[in-house]
Structure 1
Amino acid sequence: MGHSASDALGECPDAEVPPSPLAGLKVLDLSRVLAAPWATQILGDLGAEVLKVEQPGKGDDTRGWGPPFLEDGSARPDAAYYLCANRNKRSLAIDFSRPQGAALVRRLAEDADILVENFRTGGLAKYGLDAASLLPLNPRLIYCSITGFGQTGPYAERGGYDFLIQGMSGLMSVTGRPEGDAGEGPVKVGLPVSDLFTGLYATTAILAALNHRHATGEGQHIDCALLDSQVALLVNQAMNFLVGGEVPKRLGNAHPNVVPYRDFAASDDYVLVTCGSDGQFRALCALLGRDDLAADPRFATNAGRLRDRRVLEVELARAIAPWRAADLLAAMAKAGVPGGPINSIDQVLADPQVAAREMLRAMRRDDGTEVTVIGYPGRLSRSPASYRLAPPRLGQDTHAVLSAALGMEEAEIEALRAAGVIATAEPCPQRREAERTA
Structure 2
Amino acid sequence: MTHPTSPDHALPLAGITVVAIEQALAAPLCTCRLADMGARVIKIERPEGDFARGYDAAANGSSSYFLWTNRGKESVVLDFKQPDDAALLHRLIASADVFVQNLAPGALTRAGFDSATLRERHPRLITCDITGYGTGSETSKLKAYDFLVQCESGLVSVSGAPDHPGRIGVSICDIGAGMNATIAVLSALALRSRTGAGSGVSVSLFDGAADWMSVPYVHERYGNGAPAPQGLKHPSIAPYGAYRTRDARDIVISIQNDREWAKFCAVFLGDADIANDARFQTNNARVQNREALDTLIGAAFAARPLVEALSLLGDASIAYGQLRAVADMAVHPALRTWPMATGGEPLQMIAPPVRAPWDAQRFEAAPKLGEHTARIRAEFAGVAEEASA
TM-score for both structures, normalised by structure 2? 0.92
Match of 1:21, SS state, is: coil
Answer yes or no: is 1:336 the counterpart of 2:327: no
**Match in the other structure for 1:397:** 372
Is the Cα–Cα contact under 8 Å of residues 3 and 38 in structure 2 kept in the other structure? no
Match of 1:63 among 49, 53, 63: 53
**Match in the other structure for 1:284:** 264
Whole-Å Cα distance in 2 between the matches of residues 301 and 351 of structure 1?
35
Match of 1:231, SS state, is: helix
> How far 1:406 moved relative to its partner?
4.4
Instruction: Name the aligned partner's letter for residue 251 of structure 2.
Output: V
**Match in the other structure for 2:142:** 158
**Match in the other structure for 2:341:** 364
Whole-Å Cα distance in 2 between the matches of residues 331 and 54 of structure 1?
56
Deviates more, 1:189-198 or 1:233-242: 233-242
Inter-CA distance 222–202: structure 2 relative to 1 (3 Å threshold) = same
Match of 1:164, SS state, is: helix
Whole-Å Cα distance in 1 between the matches of residues 286 and 106 of structure 2?
52
Answer yes or no: is 1:240 the counterpart of 2:230: no
Counterpart mapping for 1:24-63 below 5 A: 24-56=15-47, 58-63=48-53
> How far 1:225 moved relative to its partner?
1.0
Deviates more, 1:159-168 or 1:340-349: 340-349
> How far 1:373 moved relative to its partner?
1.9
Inter-CA distance 386–130: structure 2 relative to 1 (3 Å threshold) = farther
Match of 1:144, SS state, is: strand
Match of 1:121 among 105, 121, 144: 105
Aligned CA RMSD, in angstroms, stands at: 2.0
Whole-Å Cα distance in 2 between the matches of residues 248 and 363 of structure 1?
42
> How far 1:388 moved relative to its partner?
5.4
Is the Cα–Cα contact under 8 Å of residues 93 and 395 in structure 1 kept in the other structure? yes
> How far 1:369 moved relative to its partner?
4.8
Q: Deviations over 1:170-222 (max 9, x none)?
A: 111111222xxxxx321010001011111111111111111221221221222
Extract unaligned runs of 5+ from structure 1.
72-77, 179-183, 409-438
Q: Deviations over 1:395-438 (max 9, x none)?
A: 11122223335458xxxxxxxxxxxxxxxxxxxxxxxxxxxxxx
Whole-Å Cα distance in 2 between the matches of residues 151 and 218 of structure 1?
24
Deviates more, 1:205-214 or 1:33-42: 205-214
**Match in the other structure for 2:350:** 374
Inter-CA distance 293–385: structure 2 relative to 1 (3 Å threshold) = farther
Q: Percent of pairs identical after alignment?
A: 32
Q: Deviations over 1:307-334 (max 9, x none)?
A: 2222111111111112222331233134
Match of 1:204 among 183, 190, 193: 183
Inter-CA distance 214–375: structure 2 relative to 1 (3 Å threshold) = same
Answer yes or no: is 1:220 the counterpart of 2:203: no
Inter-CA distance 385–29: structure 2 relative to 1 (3 Å threshold) = farther
> How far 1:378 moved relative to its partner?
1.1
Instruction: Name the aligned partner's letter for residue 36 of structure 1.
Output: A
Q: Deviations over 1:227-277 (max 9, x none)?
A: 111000113222323441423222222112111111111122111111112
Match of 2:100, SS state, is: strand
Extract unaligned runs of 5+ from structure 2.
384-389
Inter-CA distance 243–326: structure 2 relative to 1 (3 Å threshold) = farther
Match of 2:245 among 259, 266, 276: 266
Instruction: Name the aligned partner's letter for residue 276 of structure 1.
Output: Q
TM-score for both structures, normalised by structure 1? 0.82
Match of 1:50, SS state, is: strand
> How far 1:394 moved relative to its partner?
1.1
**Match in the other structure for 1:419:** none
Whole-Å Cα distance in 2 between the matches of residues 175 and 119 of structure 1?
29
Inter-CA distance 18–109: structure 2 relative to 1 (3 Å threshold) = closer
Inter-CA distance 18–257: structure 2 relative to 1 (3 Å threshold) = farther
**Match in the other structure for 2:2:** 4
Is the Cα–Cα contact under 8 Å of residues 91 and 392 in structure 1 kept in the other structure? yes
